[in-house]
Amino acid sequence: MDLLAFPALAGPVLVETVKFLFDRAGSVLDRRAGRVPLEEPEQVPGHAEPLRIRPQELTDIRIDRLSQAQGALRVYLSRPDFLQGDDADLRELLGTLRRDLEEIYGRGLPFGEEEQRPNPGVSVSQRAAFVANRQVGVRSRGIAPGAGVQVVQDAGIIGESGEQVGVEVEGTIG
């Protein structure tokens, strides 16, 4: 399964989906900036349980992606006629944004005909022509119950003192 895959949506459902993700990104950015208390849950219409931010997931890289995605989606929302369900760039943008939000909230965000999204996790793909020392896909203190970990590594040559490790966990799994 492609972790960034996003269902092809059209018409009003696509507009609602873009607005939902845009609003969630704004909510996270407001909390990160201190305009809303970080620990305050967000009650979203149509969702039984409130969305709660996991502060440890608010990395600088993820916040930058949320800001950029929100800017791109602002254009689509101001010009809904630009929204096309078969637009590969839009689907990639929505998929990346959804994945970041799922990591931040610690739960899946299904859309369209999707029943339920799997719990968030991490996917790593590494390629190297030569590994001289140590290449680690995922290093973690623990893996939460239900979290997914996928590591794909490819090395042309692993040197005599080289080592390639997919997952290194110092604590518990599950």
More confident residue, 173 or 67: 67
More confident residue, 165 or 120: 165
* Average pLDDT for 9-36: 88
Measure the CA angle with vertex 117, ends 99 and 111; round to 5°.
80
Is the predicted pLDDT of residue 85 greater than 60, yes or no?
Answer: yes
pLDDT at 142: 76
SS3 state of residue 40: coil
Is the predicted pLDDT of residue 159 greater than 60, yes or no?
Answer: yes
Query: For 91-120, what is each residue's pLDDT tens digit?
Result: 889 888 988 998 898 887 776 555 555 556
Query: For 120-134, what is each residue's pLDDT tens digit?
Result: 667 777 888 899 999
Least confident of 22-31, 77-86, 112-121: 112-121
Is the predicted pLDDT of residue 147 greater than 50, yes or no?
Answer: yes
Q: What are phi and psi of 149, to 5 degrees?
A: -135, 125
Is the predicted pLDDT of residue 34 greater than 60, yes or no?
Answer: yes
Q: 128-142: buried (b, 16+ CB within 10 Å) or exposed (e) per residue?
A: eeebeeebbbbebee
Q: Beta partners for 149?
A: 122
pTM here is: 0.64
Is the predicted pLDDT of residue 1 greater than 50, yes or no?
Answer: no
